[in-house]
Amino acid sequence: MTASEMIVGLGDRRYRMERDWARLPPTMAWGFISQLAVDGLGRVHVLQRSDPPVLVFDADGSFAFSYGSGRIIDGHGISIDRRERVFVVDRDAHEIVAFDRDGNELFALGERGNPRFGAPFNHPTDVAVAPDGEIYVSDGYGNAHVHRFSAEGEHISTWGGAGEGEGLFMTPHAVWVLEDGRVLVVDRENERVQVFDREGKYLASWGGFFHPMDLYVDDRGMIFVTDQVPRIAMLKDDGVLAGRCRGAINGAHGLWGDRAGNLFLAELPPARVTKLARLAG
């Protein structure tokens, strides 16, 4: 059996592992692949820490185009909202840059090149958009906070702080907003996912991870968390474990899914994009 023939399972679903799914042109080479996201056309936007920073692949894995060249210096997180806006986290520039799905810049949050301790931003990590358009940013390497913005980009509030107690973080590394408004934050060095309401009130902690890195929620409300075992866990929306697998051979720094139920992994070096192709039945 080869790696391309490996089958993994999460709950009631099975997936075929397709390594090296994203195919670069011969003239290009991968940098460090940090994270990825899928747009409404099924195209996979892959964020890497080199130039060009965002590489876009069609649904068959073929290279389509790139964007963000000269604009993003240290890409860490990428997210696509319901309006097909692509949010790119420029970690060491202390900025969030929004593009349309064709790579045209729309707006930015933060003060480029101006880190702010305790305030937006100081080496941010990830961004998520709530169903009503509010924007949430995990600010995780210099700060240990989550920042909440209006749909128009106005700063509303900040919560968190460095530590191990409830509501505190040791590298908030990823964020997602559920349909019911709960905010999930990957608290990597505390090895947990913390759950908050929209105002930042602590609700719960979910453990059982080894340095979790990213999370994704599918259309059923199932929550996928990747960690450094390496392993992918699938949770129900109350945090109850529903399945686990070793879907990433080298560990996935990021993951996302498409409307067909396939999962895509931003694998740690050696850099590659792995597709977990959902099998029928």
Domain ranges in the chain are 1-30+209-281
Whether 66 has a pLDDT exceeding 70, the answer reads yes
- pLDDT (average), residues 233-244: 98
Q: What is the pLDDT of residue 19?
A: 93
The rounded mean pLDDT for the chain is 96
86-135 pLDDT, tens digit per residue, is 999 999 999 999 999 999 999 999 999 999 999 999 999 999 999 999 99
Residue indicated by tokens 């397709």: 18
pTM: 0.97
List Cβ neighbours of 95 (8 Å cut-off, separation of 6 or more): 108, 109, 110, 111, 112, 121
Please give the pLDDT value at position 199: 97
Give 250's pLDDT tier (boundaries 50, 70, 90): confident
pLDDT value, residue 4: 61
CA nearest neighbour of 247 among 44, 15, 5, 48: 15
Quote the pLDDT of residue 1: 57
Greatest alpha-carbon pair distance for the chain in Å reads: 53
Across 211-218, average pLDDT: 98
Phi, psi of 93, deg, nearest 5:
-95, -5
Q: What is the pLDDT of residue 5?
A: 79
Averaged over 192-214, what is the pLDDT? 98
Q: Tens of pLDDT along 123-178?
A: 999 999 999 999 999 999 999 999 999 999 999 999 999 999 999 999 999 999 99
At 4-62, the pLDDT tens digits run: 679 999 999 999 999 999 999 999 999 999 999 999 999 999 999 999 999 999 999 99
Contacts of 93 (CB under 8 A, 6+ apart): 72, 73, 74, 112, 113
How many angstroms separate the CA atoms of 44 and 259, rounded? 12
Could you tell me the CA-to-CA distances from 53 to 4, 35, 150 in Å, in that order? 27, 11, 27
The CATH T-level fold of domain 1-30+209-281 is Thrombin, subunit H (2.40.10)
Distance CA 104, CA 122 (A): 25
- For residue 123 the two structure tokens come to 């080496």
Determine the Cα–Cα distance for residues 57 and 121; give it in Å rounded to an integer: 30
